[in-house]
Amino acid sequence: MLRRRPPTLSPSARAPRGRRRGVALLLVLIVLLLIATLASEVAITARTQYELAQTAMDDFLLESAVRSRRTVLIASLQFDAARGDGIDTETDDWSYKNSKVLSTQPYLPVPDADTENSSESGLVRHYTNRDIPITAWCEDERSKINLRGLLRPADDPLHRFTREALVRLIDVYRDQWNSLDVTDSEASEMVTDLEEWLAEAADTEDNPMPATKPNRGRLLTVDDLLRVPGGKWTMELLYDVRDPDEAAQGDLERTIDPGAAEEAAGSQSGEDATRVRQNGVPGLCNFLTVWAETTVADPPIKININTARKEVLRALFSSDDEELADGIIAKRNEAPVICDESEPEEGAAGGGAADGDAKGWFKSKDGLKEVDGIGQDLTKYPRLDFFADVKSNVFSLRIVATRVSATLEGEEDDGPKEILADLQTREVVERTTGGTLSLYAERRRDPRLGPKE
């Protein structure tokens, strides 16, 4: 009888359990990988949503701070006009010398809930904002040379005097920095290029910007000077740059240096008060404007001798007489300076009704005759005689709001903080008897207030 041999198992059939284990392990690894990927995606999404929410909150806080500070600047302009005597000076309520007041939240008379009465000892700060430092000030557009004069015919005195003043300004304003100096001939070529560009009406490849405003030509803002053909109007000339002789001492400050400005404001040495940055060389944009009144058909293109900076005043004299500009600054410095939160003393300057009574400010162009060296005949200085004025109606509102890391309990408010976001705005307004008119507004990172180099 034949016996049947037991069936033999193939190698693949002998180990089904091991294979199943391997497949299970592989599936587990795949599942873990998918879970890890999903968790990573969820974390990234959550982080992105958080950053978007934080950015939206920063934008909201900055926008709110800027809007509120704009209201303060507008109010300062109107308040000065309402109580003033018809002249505008560099210590008026709106001026940069009062930027400390304009930039900070004042104490308001709100009773402290913990006190039994509302006496001064119970006053508290109604609103405290330690996380959004603000720098706010107004610039008088009549403290600058107005380029609109170049739009007049060449035989018009306004065109001639504007050209002469602009050449002088370009020639002298950097003479203390040899490596950045611009000669008289180079300055004349720059102004000639500008005149030709403004005179052309065609929109060509070399002249890409057509005339858009009959009163400003191709110059919507001073920044449009970079469009002038010829390559002589450069960013290094137009905006603040590093002083090459002192560059090794440190970087330019990203924002205005209030300490240096206060020091200049309190100086009696004849130096003009300026918005100073460490190692900064001032650019031409500080001294030029294209804005004038719009409520009159032919606004006067004048320069306010109470607010003009020394470089602009020197441009109104010939090279032999430019030191007389220092005398004008010294005369203005005889007026008291009000640049803090304290109330001005009775009869002191600082804006408003006290302006006309303050020693040092010019009530009219004839006040220049009291400056040592100028004399009684202003016609000896034709540009000064033509441009000099004491009133301003067009101003730039400048606001720089910065969102910094929050101040925690126990931290020093004035310590260094991380900058999270910032917003810089500029608005040109015209002050009228019925309020203010907005002529131009922009929000951007101003080249003058840009990041460190």
**Strand 134-140 with 394-404, pairing:** antiparallel
Q: Which of 173, 147, 83 shows the shortest CA–CA distance to 356?
A: 83
* pLDDT digit string, tens, across residues 340-349: 444 444 333 3
pLDDT for the residue numbered 193: 93
**Strand 288-289 with 145-146, pairing:** parallel
The sheet with strand 419-432 has its strands ordered as 134-140, 394-404, 419-432, 435-443
pLDDT for the residue numbered 340: 43
Domain ranges across the chain? 61-107+122-407+414-449
**Cβ–Cβ under 8 Å, residues 40 and 48:** no
* pLDDT digit string, tens, across residues 211-244: 556 677 788 889 899 988 888 998 888 887 776 6
pLDDT for the residue numbered 52: 84
Q: Which of 80, 139, 69, 74 shows the shortest CA–CA distance to 350?
A: 80
* Calpha distance 281→175 (Å, rounded): 11
Q: Which residues of 98-117 are buried (b: 16+ CB within 10 A; e: fewer)?
A: bbbbbbbeeeeeeeeeeeee
Q: How far is CA 445 from the centre of its chain?
A: 9
Under-50 pLDDT residues of the chain: 107-115, 117-128, 250-278, 338-357, 447-453
pLDDT for the residue numbered 266: 42
